[in-house]
C-alpha cells in the first residue's frame, strides 16, 4: 500500500509513511472486507459511515506536519483507523464521534490494539472539545459548509486545521493556519466525504 498508493502520489514524509505502514487497516474494518483493506478506496464501516481511502488519510496527515509534542483533535473517529495513524505522530489524540455505537466500538478497538495515547469522546465534534483545548492540530473527517467557529476558536496560535468543506455534491479539502488569531485557508483538492452532522448542519 505504501509504495503503490502513497509514495507514487507525493506522500514523502518518512514519519507519515512509517505510521501508515505500521497501522493494520484490516483491524479497523469488518472481516468480510479484509481483502480490500489495502486498496486505495473508502470502505463502509456501518451506520452510514466510511473509512477514508489511505491516500487521503496520508495526504491530510502529511499536511498537518505533526510533531511528537502536538495535541491533536480529530472530528469523526469512525472505526478509529485515522486516530491510530495520528497516534504514531502526535503526543496525544483526542477524537470525537457523534454516533454512540461507533464511539464505543472504536474506543474498545483502539484500547485492545494498544493505542494508549488516544482518547475517544462521544460528542458533537463540530463543537470541538473545549475542555481539552487548545489543540495544535485539528483534522476533520466529515464535510461542513464552512469551518465551525468552535474548531477555529480551539485551534492554538500557530496551529493547523485541515478539513473538507462543501455540501453533498461538491467539496474541497482546505488547510488553515492560525496567525495572530486569524486563520488563513488555502484550498487543495476536490474530495468526497460524509457530511458533518450535529450543530454543523445549521451552518
Give residue 3's pLDDT.
Answer: 62
Separation CA 63–CA 65 (nearest Å): 5
Mean pLDDT of the chain: 93
Domain count within the chain: 1
State in Å, rounded, how far the first CA of the chain is from the last one: 37
Q: Specify the length of the chain in residues.
A: 203
Q: What is the per-residue pLDDT across 12-32, written as a single tens digit (0 to 9) for each?
A: 999 999 999 999 999 999 999
Residue 169 — pLDDT band, cuts 50, 70, 90?
A: confident
Whether the ω angle into residue 134 lies within 30 degrees of 0, i.e. cis, is yes
Give residue 7's pLDDT.
Answer: 58
Minimal CA–CA distance to 164: which of 50, 68, 79, 71?
A: 50
Opening angle at CA 190, ends 7 and 73, nearest 5:
75
Among left, alpha and beta (phi > 0; psi -120 to 50; other), residue 47 is: left
Q: Which residues contact 154 (CB under 8 A, 6 or more apart)?
A: 73, 128, 129, 130, 133, 134, 135, 138
Specify the CATH number for the domain of residue 134.
3.40.50.150
Residue 203 pLDDT exceeds 60: no
Active site residues: 52
State the cell numbers at 144. 461542513
Q: What is the extent of the structural domain holding 192?
A: 2-202
Opening angle at CA 25, ends 161 and 95, nearest 5:
35
Q: What is the per-residue pLDDT across 39-85, written as a single tens digit (0 to 9) for each?
A: 888 999 999 999 999 999 999 999 999 999 999 999 999 999 999 99
Over residues 81-96, the mean pLDDT reads: 98
Q: What is the per-residue pLDDT across 121-139, written as a single tens digit (0 to 9) for each?
A: 999 999 999 999 999 999 9
Amino acid at each position: 500500500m505504501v509504495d503503490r498508493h502513497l509514495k507514487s502520489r507525493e506522500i514523502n514524509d518518512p514519519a507519515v509513511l512509517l505510521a501508515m505502514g505500521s497501522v493494520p487497516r484490516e483491524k479497523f474494518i469488518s472481516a468480510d472486507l479484509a481483502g480490500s483493506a489495502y486498496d486505495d478506496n473508502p470502505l463502509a464501516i456501518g451506520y452510514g459511515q466510511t473509512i477514508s481511502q489511505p491516500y487521503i488519510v496520508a495526504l491530510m496527515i502529511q499536511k498537518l506536519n505533526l510533531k511528537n509534542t502536538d495535541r491533536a483533535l480529530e472530528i469523526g473517529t469512525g472505526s478509529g483507523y485515522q486516530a491510530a495513524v495520528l497516534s504514531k505522530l502526535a503526543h496525544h489524540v483526542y477524537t470525537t464521534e457523534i454516533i454512540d455505537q461507533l464511539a464505543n466500538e472504536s474506543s474498545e478497538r483502539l484500547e485492545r490494539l494498544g493505542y494508549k495515547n488516544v482518547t475517544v469522546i462521544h460528542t458533537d465534534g463540530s463543537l470541538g472539545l473545549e475542555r481539552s483545548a487548545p489543540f495544535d492540530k485539528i483534522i476533520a473527517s466529515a464535510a461542513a459548509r464552512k469551518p465551525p467557529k468552535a474548531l477555529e476558536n480551539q485551534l492554538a496560535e500557530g496551529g493547523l486545521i485541515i478539513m473538507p468543506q462543501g455540501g453533498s455534491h461538491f467539496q474541497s479539502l482546505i488547510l488553515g493556519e492560525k496567525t495572530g488569531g486569524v486563520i488563513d485557508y488555502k484550498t487543495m483538492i476536490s474530495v468526497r466525504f460524509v457530511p458533518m452532522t450535529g450543530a454543523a448542519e445549521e451552518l
